[in-house]
Amino acid sequence: MGKEAAGEGILRNELAPEEFAALSAKEKKRARRWYLPDLPEKLAGPVVDNHTHIWVPAGAAQAGHSDATLTPPRGRMLPNEEAAAMEAAGVCHAITCACEVPDLLPTVAVAEADPAHFSAALAIHPNEAARHRGITATGPDGLAQELAAHHALSLEEAIDRVAQAARSKAVVAIGETGLDYYRTSEEGRAAQIEAFRAHLALARELDLPVQIHDREAHADCVEVLRRDGAPSRVVFHAFSGDAALAELCNREGWYGSFGGQITYPANDELRAAFHAFDSALILAETDAPYLTPVPWRGHPNAPYVMAWTVRFGAELRELAEAQWCAQLLENTRAVYGELGAA
């Protein structure tokens, strides 16, 4: 792999690829938490990462700072660096999601500053909804729930911040919103449902697609969508359902967005769902910095890394890479319209 393909001069890595390769197994295990994957071979056609989380400066006070004055944490990149890596990999655009109040305006600023490469999706995350109600009970995952300064805003005030920021032309979706019964306690479910319904109403009002976070809550997500009336375009981000949910989505015309988890060996049920989806209802995403695909699982994720997920999907559908890229781009345009240079 040449220097350009490995990412030298583009990726924000502390080690050169050959230095990482020379590490012992134990050293690699420690380093992979912050070592960005090498750049893949460029895809045969342009694709869009329809759900990611680009690093932005924390809090609106820093939103106006230039890239040169900011330092992202290890394993993350500045937006202009993300854009360069995306171009090298064939990922022509990314929809970056802000789902906490401090990130709303900085995320919009990133998308407004580089509309060729980035658009924005905004919402209050389901787990954040409970915190805005002051609920800190431990959920099934066993992790402690803590409140930050921005949780002093009521849930209504937080969603109003979303509604105000979503008026920007850079915002192309409401999300991620939905239900998460894994991380939030039963006490927090009412707040999640309330927030979900408010976001669905906002998406309908603005005629924007909704990106749904559905974790161990498939039936309730579907019930709320049907009861309240789904927006005209619905995307289940990081799809985690089975073939039955995929078939339901086919009937409803809802989209399933698949990330790196489809490449994990144990996820046979998810691959069955992928096969069950109509080709015209499948999207691709990273959910970066999470869900990094094989062969880089355990490393930080980024939009350019989606190339591995796209190639894996083409193999599963038994399609030529260029044909699958064209299908994904067509599907993306059907949901979001024209995005930047996509």
Token digits of residue 234: 């619905």
Residue-wise burial string across 156-175, b where 16 or more C-beta atoms lie within 10 A, e elsewhere: eebbebbbebbebebbbbbb
State the pLDDT confidence band at 6, using cuts at 50, 70 and 90: low
Bigger pLDDT: 142 vs 60: 142
> What is residue 288's predicted lDDT score, i.e. its pLDDT?
98
Question: Looking at residue 57, what is its pLDDT?
Answer: 78
How many domains does the chain contain in total? 1
Does residue 7 surpass a pLDDT of 70? Answer: no
Q: Residue 25: CB partners within 8 Å, gap ≥ 6? A: none
Q: What mean pLDDT comes out for the span 308-317?
A: 98
Better pLDDT: 306 or 62: 306
Contacts of 141 (CB under 8 A, 6+ apart): 182, 183
Q: Is the dihedral of CA 23, 91, 111, 172 positive or negative?
A: negative
**Mean predicted confidence (pLDDT) in 76-100:** 97
Which H or E element spans position 102? Answer: helix 101-113
How far apart CA 12 and CA 225 sit, in angstroms, is: 41
pLDDT of 64 higher than 70: no
Mean pLDDT of 21-46: 95
**What residue has token string 């803590």?**
146
pLDDT band at 82; cut points 50, 70, 90: very high
If you compute the radius of gyration of the chain from its CA atoms, what whole number of angstroms results?
Answer: 19
Tell me: the pLDDT tens digits for 157-179? 999 999 999 999 999 999 999 99
pLDDT at residue 91 is higher than 90: yes
Domain assignment present for residue 283? The answer is yes
* SS (HEC) of 215-277: ECCHHHHHHHHHHHCCCCCEEECCCCCCHHHHHHHHHHCCEEEECHHHHCCCCHHHHHHHHHC
Whole-number pLDDT of residue 70: 75
Q: Give mean pLDDT, residues 229-255.
A: 98
Select from 149, 102, 156 the least CA-distant residue to 129.
156
Mean pLDDT, the chain, as a whole number? 93
pLDDT tens by residue, 249-302? 999 999 999 999 999 999 999 999 999 999 999 999 999 999 999 999 999 999
Is 6 contained in some domain?
Answer: no
How far is it, in rounded angstroms, from Cα 252 to Cα 82? 35
| Range 208-222 average pLDDT | 97
**CATH number of the domain enclosing 51:** 3.20.20.140
Mean pLDDT of 230-241: 98
Percent of the chain with pLDDT over 70: 94
Q: Compute CA distances 315 → 27, 43, 282, 310, whole Å.
A: 33, 14, 14, 9
Q: The whole model's pTM is what?
A: 0.94
Note whether residue 178 is domain-resident: yes
Report the percentage of the chain scoring pLDDT > 90. 85
- In the chain, % helix, strand, coil (3-state, to 5) comes to 45, 15, 40
- 217, pLDDT greater than 50: yes
Asked whether residue 77 is domain-assigned, the answer is yes
Interval 96-155: pLDDT, tens: 999 999 999 999 999 999 999 999 999 999 999 999 999 998 999 988 889 999 999 999
58 part of a folded domain: yes
* Rounded distance between C-alpha atoms, residue 9 and residue 149, angstroms: 38
pLDDT value of position 158: 98
pLDDT of residue 2: 41
Is residue 14 in a domain?
A: no
Domain that holds residue 184: 47-336
The residues pairing with 49 across neighbouring beta strands, listed in sequence order, are: 94
The pLDDT value given to residue 60: 40
Q: Tell me what pLDDT residue 3 has.
A: 39
